[in-house]
Structure 1
Amino acid sequence: MDGRDLAILRALLMDGRASYKSIGRIVGLSTSTVRSRVLNMISTGLITRFIASLDLTALGYNLIHVAVKHRGDEDYVMDRLRLLGNILMSVTCVGDITVFGLASKGILKERLDLLPMVLQPHSILYTSSMDAMPRRLLHNDLRIIRQLLMEPRASIKSIASKLNISERTVKRRLDYMLRHNIIHFTVLINPSAMRGFINFSMIITLNDYDSKVMNRVSSMLDSNMLLPLIPVSQNRLVGVLYSESVDGMNELIRRARSIEGVINVDFFIAQRVQWMDEWIGKVIDDMLQKE
């Protein structure tokens, strides 16, 4: 993996539906070269799949992120968490630490209060949460989402043909969902395959919600970010970053901690990422059947 692969990867992490031609313009390579490099990253296992990521709060789910220090028994922890909801993702990190994304219905505070008991005897390093914010989605929106969950890079023409609706309708509704952050497209990567780079995440806690502080953090980390900063609660951000060395990683963490308005920075070095969205397709199918 070299700097050009990294530039292509960053573009796909930002927009998993970006055309190879548009990426080529960004990174200064031909369309065929970009395509060849992407196929190589897929064949080597660096890119494991393309993803259509749905904002589950729009479907009425609360979101919980929890970092757990366990004893290497990650499967047991996952089974326990499933008592509270559906697991969307897990990030296995160095040191028997795993960060989970959990989607749950019901009263959020009750779920958060149950976490320590459910996860005993393991330690919870941090939690963050977002309340459900249901959105009104049209019947065609759900049908389009269902197709994109199966094939995130499907063309507008292909989706329109399969759903027997106009290309104009597909484009208009997809543009709407993108504009309102209901759906986002990215790629799933294997951190262990990032030869020559360290993939790590920062959990950045602010004194309070402050857009100026957020902008300062984003500006300081920008050149090392694989994704834009992700707000996971009112005063907490997640940064997905890379560094060429441990010293470089430590320097980024030190600089983030030095920003006025930042009260804490935790970091985790990722080893493996799992994305578990099969259950979302079933949820969409159930919603379509009820209409």
Structure 2
Amino acid sequence: MTNPGLGPVSFRVNQSRPGAAFQLDDLSKQIIEKLQQDGRRSYAGIGKAVGLSEAAVRQRVQRMVDAGVMQIVAVTDPMQLGFARQAMIGIRCTGDTTRVAEKLAAIESVDYVVLTAGSFDAICEVVCADDDDLLDLLNTQIRALPGVISTETLVYLKLVKQQYNWGTR
């Protein structure tokens, strides 16, 4: 879904707490799916679609947000906002990879960090104004972090698909 000036409006399930104890029933899953289709949909409209009152939907959404199960966000298109360079950076580390990931997450240009198994210990996504900004970020912030051995940068040429409507499965 697109909102002129903001880019796609979407919803993301918070994956920072795998195995969290929060249980989703079928109604909560339906609410999530409705929000994934349209993050601006009214609680009354969602309630009508799933068979609950507006207040019941509001309460369920608030509980899921408070529990960190989901967040409702406006997803912008960085290119439309003047950020000409996006990249995925694979990082090889020594020591405690969690500490490196926490340091990466604190960098303003980094919008996504995951710890991985395989060729890289961590992967992050960055949004930069231009190539000079990306080079500075790599040299002065990411490669300078204690524990970082090497990086491999995959520069985005064109965003072909990005969606957050994969449902609750």
Q: Give the helix-richer structure, 1 or 2.
A: 1
Separation in structure 2 between the aligned mates of residue 196 and residue 185 of structure 1, nearest angstrom: 23
2:153 aligns with: 267
After superposition, residues 1-291 of structure 1 pair within 5 angstroms as: 39=4, 41=5, 47=7, 49-54=8-13, 133=19, 136-190=23-77, 192-195=79-82, 197-219=84-106, 221-222=107-108, 224-225=109-110, 227=111, 229-233=112-116, 235-243=121-129, 245-255=130-140, 256-270=142-156, 271-275=158-162, 280-281=166-167
Separation in structure 1 between the aligned mates of residue 96 and residue 55 of structure 2, nearest angstrom: 39
Q: If the length of structure 2 is used for normalisation, what is the TM-score? A: 0.69
Sort the Cα spacing of 1:207 and 1:176 in 2 relative to 1 into closer, same or farther, 3 A.
Answer: farther
What CA deviation, in whole Å up to 9, does each residue of 1:6-32 have, x standing for no partner?
Answer: xxxxxxxxxxxxxxxxxxxxxxxxxxx
Give the drift of 1:276. Answer: 5.1
Matched-pair identity in %: 15
2:104, 2:113 within 8 Å by CA — same for their partners in 1?
no
Sort the Cα spacing of 1:196 and 1:238 in 2 relative to 1 into closer, same or farther, 3 A.
Answer: closer
Give the drift of 1:215. Answer: 3.3
Farther off after superposition, 172-181 or 250-259: 172-181
1:67 aligns with: none
Sort the Cα spacing of 1:264 and 1:165 in 2 relative to 1 into closer, same or farther, 3 A.
Answer: same
What CA deviation, in whole Å up to 9, does each residue of 1:64-93 have, x standing for no partner?
Answer: xxxxxxxxxxxxxxxxxxxxxxxxxxxxxx
Q: Which runs of 4+ in 1 moved over 6 A?
A: none
Sort the Cα spacing of 1:277 and 1:215 in 2 relative to 1 into closer, same or farther, 3 A.
Answer: closer
Give the drift of 1:249. Answer: 1.1
Farther off after superposition, 164-173 or 256-265: 164-173
Sort the Cα spacing of 1:238 and 1:194 in 2 relative to 1 into closer, same or farther, 3 A.
Answer: same
Separation in structure 1 between the aligned mates of residue 39 and residue 86 of structure 2, nearest angstrom: 24
Larger radius of gyration, structure 1 or 2?
Answer: 1
2:9, 2:39 within 8 Å by CA — same for their partners in 1?
yes
What CA deviation, in whole Å up to 9, does each residue of 1:246-267 have, x standing for no partner?
Answer: 2221011112112111223222
**Matched residues, number:** 160
1:190, 1:272 within 8 Å by CA — same for their partners in 2?
no
